[in-house]
Amino acid sequence: MKYFIKVILPPLFAFWAFALFIKFTPVFHHVNAAENMGEDSVYGLISYYKIFAPAQIIIALLTQFLIVMPLWRKIIAKPKSAILIFITLILICAIFAFGLAYAIWDPETKKSRFIDIGWFMTGVQLFYWVINFLLLYLLDWKAFRKTQPVAETDNES
């Protein structure tokens, strides 16, 4: 049951956090998905999230089950491996974000626009992964507690 919760809860909570951010930020509250879809802007990205959220949640759950949970087991077994895993995760986020930014970037605009889109998408992905791993840590915090060595006593009589 706990494994099932670790697969379901972190992705749903991260998407819930995105939804709350979009809903309660006055700038994004009025975004009309039909009008803004395909725009090279934050509004276009939010429209994309609003329309394709169910498919994204399914993909997030599959990713959690097939990729994240095996990595999490490695982190629990060897906590020092977390540094390498997180550095690799940051690099993968940046590569995919800048690759996608390049695909949607209009070459007629400045390169700074491309860089802004790439950093924004990297930030969105990293926000998701920070929430995800933070919840996994909170669910497994006992596995990371340092155990106190048991003092041996002379009880032989």
**Lowest-pLDDT range of 12-21, 103-112, 140-149:** 140-149
- Residue of 82, 83, 86, 84 lying closest to 73 (CA atoms): 82
**Tens digits of residue pLDDT in 62-114:** 999 999 999 999 999 998 999 999 999 999 999 999 999 898 888 888 999 89
pTM equals 0.74
First to last CA, the chain: 46
User: Residue 147: inside a domain, yes or no?
Assistant: no
pLDDT value at position 53? 81
For 123, the domain range is 2-142
Decide if pLDDT at 31 tops 60: no
User: Residue 153: inside a domain, yes or no?
Assistant: no
- The structural domain count of the chain equals 1
pLDDT value at position 139? 92
Distance (Å, rounded) from C-alpha 67 to C-alpha 70? 6
Decide if pLDDT at 153 tops 60: yes
Residues 29/23, Cβ–Cβ less than 8 Å: yes
Distance (Å, rounded) from C-alpha 104 to C-alpha 117? 9
Question: What does the mean pLDDT of the chain come to?
Answer: 83
